[in-house]
Amino acid sequence: MPLVTIQGPPGFSGQKTKVAAAGRWFAGNLLRWRQGDLEKMPGWLRLFPDPFLGFIRRMHAWLDLSDHRQLLVGTDSGLQIAHEQTVYTVDTDTILADPRQETWHLDNLGENGFALKTGGPLQIYKPAQGGGVVPDDPPTVSVVTEAPERSNIMISAMPQAQLILGGTMSVADPDTGSSVFDPLLIRFSDVGTHDVWVPTVSNQAGSYRLSSGSEIRGMIKAPQTILVLTDTDAWSMSYIGPPLVYGFTIMGSGCGLVAPHAIVTLGRTTYWQGPKGIWSFGDGGVQPVPSTVHDYIFEDLDADDIGKCHAGANSIGNEVTFYFPCRSKPYKRGVDTSGPIVKSNEPTHYVKFTTTEPAWDSGALGRTAWINNNVYGMPLGADLNYRIQQHERGYDDDDQPMRNVYVESGFQTMAEGNQIMSVDKCEPDFKWFGKNGAVNLSFTGRGYAGGKEFAYGPWSMTETTQFFNPRVRSKYVSVRYDWVPRRGFSARIGALKLMAKQAGRRP
């Protein structure tokens, strides 16, 4: 009796049909590739006990001069700050009236934090003072009156210690005192300051207007440069010193950014989401990133809420994840404009690229903001309940069983599909973590490539399971693993062995 091994290589073959994906994984949810093997995604646990003011759109963490951890959090309903584990609400006047078009940009220079709402003024956050973990004086937030009164993008530049604004107001005309908003204008402060923005011969403040695109969509600190993305192009902004201060070079065209936070750097490479593809910038310049789950995101992306797309890096798993609001299974259908903040669809799905394999997978997980490893430890993700979850913590979903974890393969055939396959014995292969783990294994059969599907199983697999007899008879056979929703365990898939024989010919 022939022995059939089912052990697909890393990555989903979501672009293919389930029959064309024979010998590969086809779809799944909440998974990770580790050195070529497939396992359940590590768990997460809330960082703070209480929810924040609203949907979290951006987070930024750093240490102040007293080595206290600071976490600046921009929500739809205002600005909050965590000093170690104590959370303060510092601004509820500045809201995101329409999160489809507006977001927060957060950064720091030294111990001071800076915040910018899309189309708003630059704000400075000064940490709490005195005391220890619980300070004597609360933190404060105020507007930097010397900065341009309206900007779309903000980032700090190191090691020059400058603030950079994109899509901002021009320097006031000395005769009229008026300035003009330009969506392609970049302005930067003097070195080591946040309140000197007018250039002179004795400082390094200045400005530059990009010559292509219609608006600056995002900026990020990439290795050895600042990468500036418009709706159409990618630019490099590199420090060259006085008198020009910065040099600007267009690095790629037709590779624009879809949303301000749909870009992230992992190692030496920056990745971002374009209108119809994923792009990267690294040692080889700007390159498209081929994706085997392209349709999962770009054929189901909710274009009305595309501004909420965002990317997150996870150095632990060497992963880059793109979260997006989808049309087929939306968080919310339609738009609610009855309150001060527009409510609409949210990012509930993702595609993920494991750079070391390389491999793509996809699934459903609601995250509205993300930061990689930081002063609080492991990566942080903001969920749909206004909470901050710390990932890489155990095996569970905020101390509850992780649900809907599964993977299914493409259809396996015998003799190039000419013979009916009879599976009489199955020998599962797992590596178990934690305790009390169980995985359900089931099969799906088809008589023809486009025919009706028949389900077999499921059979429950535990650490003690050696084999079982499924009695499956079909021309096309696929396998599916479902991690049972129990707390405190994970399982890594090995090489599944099927005892299969020919059982006739399908006309």
Residue 117 has pLDDT above 80, yes or no: yes
387/366 Cα distance (integer angstroms)? 11
What is the distance between the alpha carbons of residues 217 and 153, in angstroms, rounded to a whole number? 8
C-alpha 172/C-alpha 239 separation (Å) is: 25
Length of the chain: 507
Q: Write the pLDDT tens digit of every residue in 4-24.
A: 777 889 999 999 999 899 889
Check: CB of residue 106 under 8 Å from CB of residue 117: no
Q: In which band, very low, low, confident or very high, does the pLDDT at 96 lie, cut at 50, 70 and 90?
A: very high
For the chain, domain boundaries: 3-42+404-505, 146-253
Mean pLDDT of 493-504: 78
CB 464 within 8 A of CB 435: no
Residue 412 to residue 402: CA distance in whole angstroms? 29
Q: Which stretches within 266-345 are classed as H helix?
A: 294-298
pLDDT for 35 beyond 80: yes
Q: What's the pLDDT at 376?
A: 96
The pLDDT value given to residue 263: 98
Assign 506 a pLDDT band (cuts: 50, 70, 90). Answer: low
Return the amino acid letter for 222. Answer: A
List pLDDT tens digits, range 364-380.
999 999 999 999 999 99
Q: Which two tokens stand for residue 40?
A: 């359940």
For 173-200, give the DSSP string. Answer: PTTT----EEEEEEEEPPTT-SS--S--
3-state helix, strand, coil in the chain (%, to 5): 5, 50, 45
Q: What is the mean pLDDT of the chain?
A: 93
Alpha-carbon span 311 to 254, nearest angstrom? 20
Whether pLDDT at 313 is above 60: yes
Three-state DSSP string of 422-451: EEEEEECCEEEEECCCCEEEEEEEECCCCC
Please state, in angstroms and rounded to a whole number, the distance separating the CA atoms of residues 283 and 271.
13
User: Which is more confidently placed, 467 or 210?
Assistant: 210
pLDDT score for 415: 55
Q: Which residues contact 450 (CB under 8 A, 6 or more apart)?
A: none
Q: Looking at residues 340-363, what average pLDDT do you find?
A: 97
Edge-to-edge strands, sheet with 319-324: 310-314, 319-324, 349-354, 359-364
Give the pLDDT of residue 116.
Answer: 98
Report pLDDT for 502.
66
For the segment 129-136, the average pLDDT, to the nearest whole number, is: 66
What is the average pLDDT across 23-29? Answer: 95
pLDDT classification of 53: cutoffs 50, 70, 90: very high
Outline where DSSP puts E strands in 231-385.
233-241, 245-253, 263-266, 269-273, 278-282, 285-289, 310-314, 319-324, 349-354, 359-364, 369-371, 380-382
* Dist. CA 269–CA 281, nearest whole Å: 6
Q: What is the DSSP letter of 280?
A: E
**Do the Cβ atoms of 320 and 266 come closer than 8 Å?**
yes
Residue for token pair 């927060």: 104
Mean pLDDT, range 435-453, rounded to an integer: 89
Q: What is the mean pLDDT of residues 259-284?
A: 97
User: Would the pLDDT of 136 be above 80?
Assistant: no
What pLDDT digit, counting tens, does each position of 186-217 carry? 999 999 999 999 999 999 999 999 999 999 99
Bridge partner list, 322: 311, 351
| pLDDT higher than threshold 90 for residue 137 | no
Mean pLDDT for the stretch of residues 385-410: 97
- Fold exhibited by the domain 3-42+404-505: Jelly Rolls (2.60.120)
Tens of pLDDT, residue by residue over 415-434, are 555 677 777 888 999 999 99
Place of tokens 């049309």: 327
Least confident range from 169-178, 285-294, 416-425: namely 416-425
17, 21, 24, 26 alpha-carbon torsion, rounded to 10°: 10
Span 271-295, mean pLDDT?
96
Task: Please classify residue 61 by burial: count the beta carbons closer than 10 Å to its beta carbon, then call 0-12 exposed, 13-18 middle and 19+ buried.
Answer: buried
Alpha carbon distance 319, 355 (integer Å): 6
The answer, yes or no, to whether residue 83 has pLDDT greater than 80, is yes
- pLDDT value of position 132: 62
CA distance 384 to 46: 12
Region of poorest pLDDT, from 16-20, 330-334, 488-492: 16-20
DSSP state at residue 76: T
Distances in Å between the Cα of 361 and the Cα atoms of 24, 213, 483 are 12, 32, 17
Tell the residue number behind the tokens 């997978």, with chain if given: 361
pLDDT-above-90 percentage for the chain: 81
Residue 193 in tokens: 């300051």
pLDDT of residue 1: 53
Nearest Cα to 276, choosing from 255, 304, 251, 307?
255
What pLDDT score was predicted for residue 470?
Answer: 87
Residue type, 23: G
Mean pLDDT of 243-268: 96
Tokens of 237: 């902004």
Mention every residue, 6+ apart, whose C-beta is less than 8 A from residue 321. 311, 312, 313, 314, 350, 351, 352, 353, 370
Would you say residue 504 has pLDDT above 70?
no
